[in-house]
């Protein structure tokens, strides 16, 4: 999955750090987690869900001085 981050401010978007967690049904411990690949304003994540069902992919990234989170629902069949 790729996430493209854009800013309303002029200039490039700088993302020094991003990480992700994959949780089944938003309950319990994450099934997988890791560090995202970041290239300019694009965050890339490769997930490998182990079961079918609903998952939540949460991406946490920094654009100093802020930290932001994005949640994506994945329906794995």
Per-residue confidence (pLDDT) for residue 10, from 0 to 100: 87
Q: How far, in Å, are 2, 57, 61, 62 from residue 68 at the CA level?
A: 16, 14, 5, 6
Per-residue confidence (pLDDT) for residue 55, from 0 to 100: 95
**Helix residue ranges per DSSP H, 1-77:** none
DSSP 29: S
Per-residue confidence (pLDDT) for residue 4, from 0 to 100: 93
For the record, the structure tokens of 38 come out as: 């970041």
Q: Residue ranges per domain, the chain? A: 2-76
CB distance 34 to 20 below 8 Å: yes
Average pLDDT per 10 consecutive residues for the chain, totaling 77 residues: 88 93 87 95 94 95 94 94
């Amino acid at each position: 999955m790729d996430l493209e981050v854009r800013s309303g401010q002029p200039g490039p978007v700088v993302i020094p750090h991003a990480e992700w967690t994959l949780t089944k049904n938003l309950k319990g411990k994450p099934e997988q987690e890791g560090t995202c690949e970041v290239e300019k304003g694009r965050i890339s994540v490769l997930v490998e869900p182990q079961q079918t069902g609903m998952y939540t992919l949460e991406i946490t990234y920094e654009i100093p001085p802020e930290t932001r989170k994005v949640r994506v629902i994945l329906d794995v069949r």
